[in-house]
Amino acid sequence: MIYEHSRAGRRAMAQAPSEKVELAGIPDAMLRTSLPPLPEVSEMQAVRHFTRLSQKNFSIDTQFYPLGSCTMKYNPRACNTLASLPGMLSRHPLAPETHSQGFMACLYELQDILKTVTGMHAVSLTPAAGAQGEFAGVAMIRAYHDARGDKERSEILVPDAAHGTNPASAVMCGYKAREIPTGSDGDIDIEALKSALGPQTAGIMLTNPSTVGVFERRIKEIADLVHAAGGLLYYDGANLNAILGKVRPGDMGFDVIHMNLHKTFSTPHGGGGPGAGPVGVSKRLEPYLPIPMVDFDGNDYRWLTERDRPDSIGRLSAFAGNAGVLIRAYIYARLLGREGMHRVSEYSTLNANYLLKRLMEAGFDAAYPERRASHEFILTLKKQAKELGVNTMDFAKRLLDYGVHAPTTYFPLLVPECLLVEPTETEAKEDLDRFVEIMQTIKQEAESQPEMVKQAPHTMPVRRLDDVRAARELDLAWKPGD
Amino acid sequence: MSNTPTDRRYAKSHEWLKDEGDGSFTVGITDHAQGLLGDLVFVELPEIGTAVEAGNDCAVVESVKAASDVYSPVTGEVIAVNEALDGAPETINEDAFGKGWMFKVKAADAGESDSLLDAAGYDALVAEEE
């Protein structure tokens, strides 16, 4: 902690205000009477402290990082460089349309690109993150039913493998979430779906490929069943990386989709943001898209607002979403081009299937051995946990000792001792092979010296953290002397 | 050897239900369930007086791995909750079938519990899931 370096009176003048700050107009009661408890360190101490912290980090710039697009895939440097051009970076959000034509042209073209990639009828870029995109999507489902006077619909169906945000978004929009089980082959249980559908069904939220890493094969049948019951289909874009340029949610029969541009379209967002969660819709939901959107009359770009779109579910933030993320996504899409977009899904899927096959040959159990993987796959270390007492968390911690960031552990919840691996499209074969070798080595270690594996990591700056105690005795405001 | 007590019944969603003989039932999660969840860090109990419906969620157990709903195996009214769990969720890890009980329900229909599994049936379910 930087507070541990603090000594009274030390200063880093670079950050100090150069002029006296005007405090007039702030009520006395709201002015603080004591100085805030900031660390007192020199500039160099601060630089060293944060540089050391960064060196202790695992990152995609230094290590194999099989969390994949689920958390953060490799983001080409060009996207960030171009999005950081002064004209983009310094544009004021209240700048008039006449001064923003270049920026708005990028957004307009991005709307078009996303429409083409997803097969949807119209797109709004404004949701500021995936969860807000989900909220906007379900709110549009609600607006659609309400506008038709179809007010008895009260349930959103959600598979048990879904991201936790799906039922949360449904509830945020006033619906009840109803769970649909997943069959042992990884596909949704169609019979359970049939019995859950009815006049109370507002819609279903699906991720395809699903969170268990397989493509929902009966998607057409699911779409027909839900539509026949009067419900709408929501596509969670979490796994869009697997199908870019190959299959389009619009063609599968989906009515709404949200895309996580910060995952699939090149923004480093590990650490919590910012994101961008644009929504695309079928024709019947188009009037309800959130505003603002960008329109082009052949000459000029302009904002579409409440005046143009009276049935819109409204604004989700003060301006047009997270502009920086949208610009990065635009550049990423333009760099790939229409011709290159499908290579993302081809290589990410090829890499995942190669890795899965090799790990199965090395004696690991796939959760769905009969299924082809999408851009990610699930191993279950149930056998190792039962026979050797070495569980998924132990494997994950031991991977750190070998310089590999652990894949996602214990998600999705329905697979016991679950390891969710997503190598992404940018990993070289040598790096995939190295991961297999390391996993084999850890497997042998688990057999010959399980206690050592259970105490991993051994070479990291900190040993295994007591996450149970941290959760039970949560302290978010620790300071020296506590 | 199974340690599943034979003096109570079990839901497929891994809750146990014990008939207290006075129309009330004690509910908790099974030892198998706590094992799957791992070290619990938080328990959310229903409020006394809450009407619960069989199969509906009415409590939450949270471990470092996952948060999981707990479903009431019977319909009725919550008449007591195990306040000792507040601040000591590990009690469920240590003694799921005893001190780790979660709440008591005054059942609307005492016969409803007959449709639940007995100890042997629950053990078979666990064996099948594994």
pLDDT at A476 over 90: no
Distance CA B47, CA B81 (A): 8
Distance CA B32, CA B37 (A): 9
Instruction: Give domain A343-470's CATH superfamily.
Output: Aspartate Aminotransferase, domain 1 (3.90.1150.10)
What tokens does A361 get?
A: 């040959």
> Over pLDDT 90: what percentage of chain A?
76
- Chain B residues touching residue A468 (CB < 8 angstroms): 39, 41, 64
Residues forming CATH 3.40.640.10 domain(s) in chain A:
79-336
pLDDT at A11 over 80: yes
| Residue of A467, A469, A473 for testing the chain B interface, max B β-carbons within 10 Å | A467
- Chain A residues touching residue B127 (CB < 8 angstroms): none
Q: How confident is the model at residue B2 (pLDDT cuts 50, 70, 90)?
A: low
pLDDT at A139 over 50: yes
The whole-number average pLDDT for the span B101-125 is 90
The whole-number average pLDDT for the span A39-53 is 93
B56–A contact, CB cutoff 8 A: no
How far A467 CA sits from the closest chain B CA (Å)? 7
**Nearest Cα to Cα of residue A119 among A223, A251, A279:** A251
- Chain B residues touching residue A416 (CB < 8 angstroms): 36
Distance CA A19, CA A25 (A): 18
pLDDT at B109 over 50: yes
**Nearest Cα to Cα of residue A439 among A355, A370, A378, A353:** A355
Q: How confident is the model at residue B65 (pLDDT cuts 50, 70, 90)?
A: confident
> pLDDT digit string (tens) for A252-292?
999 999 999 998 998 877 556 689 999 999 999 999 999 99
pLDDT at A270: 58
Cβ(A392)–Cβ(A419) below 8 Å: yes
pLDDT at A16 over 90: no
Residues within 8 A of B (CB atoms), A 375-394 only? 382, 386
> pLDDT digit string (tens) for A217-259?
999 999 999 999 999 999 999 999 999 999 999 999 999 999 9
B88–A contact, CB cutoff 8 A: no
- Chain A residues touching residue B89 (CB < 8 angstroms): 472
- Output the average pLDDT for chain B: 91
- Chain B residues touching residue A167 (CB < 8 angstroms): none
The whole-number average pLDDT for the span A320-326 is 91
Give the closest of B41, B66, B130 to A468, CB-based.
B41
Give the pairing type, strands B9-10 and B15-19.
antiparallel
> pLDDT digit string (tens) for A359-370?
999 999 999 999
pLDDT at A37: 82
Range in A153-167, A265-279, A285-299, A400-414 the model is least confident about: A265-279
pLDDT at A273: 66
CATH fold for the domain made of A79-336: Aspartate Aminotransferase; domain 2 (3.40.640)
pLDDT at A413 over 60: yes
- Chain B residues touching residue A472 (CB < 8 angstroms): 41, 89-90
A473 CB neighbour count, 10 Å cutoff: 9
- Output the average pLDDT for chain A: 93
Residues forming CATH 3.90.1150.10 domain(s) in chain A:
343-470
What tokens does B104 get?
A: 């008591």
B128–A contact, CB cutoff 8 A: no
CATH fold for the domain made of B10-110: OB fold (Dihydrolipoamide Acetyltransferase, E2P) (2.40.50)
Report how many Cβ contacts below 8 Å link chain A to chain B: 17
**Nearest Cα to Cα of residue A341 among A263, A264, A428:** A264
B66–A contact, CB cutoff 8 A: yes
B65–A contact, CB cutoff 8 A: yes
pLDDT at A62 over 80: yes
pLDDT at A482 over 80: no
Residue with tokens 């949807």: A120
How far A179 CA sits from the closest chain B CA (Å)? 12
- Chain A residues touching residue B130 (CB < 8 angstroms): 382, 386
pLDDT at A15 over 80: no
According to the 3-state scheme, what is the secondary structure of chain A? Answer: CHHHHCCCCCCCHHHCCCCCCCCCCCCHHHCCCCCCCCCCCCHHHHHHHHHHHHHHCCCCCCCECCCHHHCCCCCCHHHHHHHCCHHHHCCCCCCCHHHCHHHHHHHHHHHHHHHHHHCCCEEECCCCCHHHHHHHHHHHHHHHHHHCCCCCCCEEEEECCCCCHHHHHHHHCCCEEEEECECCCCCECHHHHHHHCCCCEEEEEEECCCCCCCCCCCHHHHHHHHHHCCCEEEEEHHHHHHCCCCCCHHHHCCCEEECCHHHHCCCCCCCCCCCCCCEEECHHHHHHCCECEEEECCCCEEEECCCCCCCCCCECCCCCCCHHHHHHHHHHHHHHHHHHHHHHHHHHHHHHHHHHHHHHHCCCEECCCCCCCCCCEEEECHHHHHHHCCCHHHHHHHHHHCCECCCEECCCCCCCCEEEECCCCCCCHHHHHHHHHHHHHHHHHHHHCHHHHHCCCCCCCCCCCCHHHHHHCCCCCCCCCC
- Chain B residues touching residue A467 (CB < 8 angstroms): 64
A10–B contact, CB cutoff 8 A: no
ipTM for the whole complex: 0.74
pLDDT at B1: 45
B130–A contact, CB cutoff 8 A: yes
Cβ(A379)–Cβ(A367) below 8 Å: yes
Q: How confident is the model at residue A21 (pLDDT cuts 50, 70, 90)?
A: confident
- The domain ranges of chain B are 10-110
pLDDT at A329 over 80: yes
**pTM score:** 0.87
What chain A residue is nearest to B42 in terms of C-alpha separation?
Answer: A472
Distance CA A180, CA A194 (A): 10
Distance CA B45, CA B92 (A): 13
pLDDT at A338 over 50: yes
| Residue of B37, B39, B42 for testing the chain A interface, max A β-carbons within 10 Å | B39
Between vectors from CA A38 to CA A36 and to CA A42, what angle results, nearest 5°? 140
Cβ(A209)–Cβ(A244) below 8 Å: no
How far B126 CA sits from the closest chain A CA (Å)? 13
Handedness of CA A402, A405, A408, A409 (dihedral sign): positive
- Chain A residues touching residue B36 (CB < 8 angstroms): 416
How far B39 CA sits from the closest chain A CA (Å)? 7
State residue A3 phi and psi, 5-degree precision: -60, -25
**Nearest Cα to Cα of residue A437 among A69, A72, A64, A71:** A64
What chain B residue is nearest to A417 in terms of C-alpha separation?
Answer: B36
The whole-number average pLDDT for the span B5-16 is 94
Give the closest of A382, A416, A467 to B64, CB-based.
A467
Distance CA A315, CA A338 (A): 31
pLDDT at A162 over 70: yes
Partner-chain contact B89 A472, CB within 8 Å: yes
Name the CA radius of gyration of chain B, rounded.
13
Q: How confident is the model at residue A206 (pLDDT cuts 50, 70, 90)?
A: very high
Partner-chain contact A471 B41, CB within 8 Å: yes
The whole-number average pLDDT for the span B58-84 is 92
Distance CA A216, CA A254 (A): 13
Partner-chain contact A468 B39, CB within 8 Å: yes
Partner-chain contact B36 A416, CB within 8 Å: yes
pLDDT at A352: 97
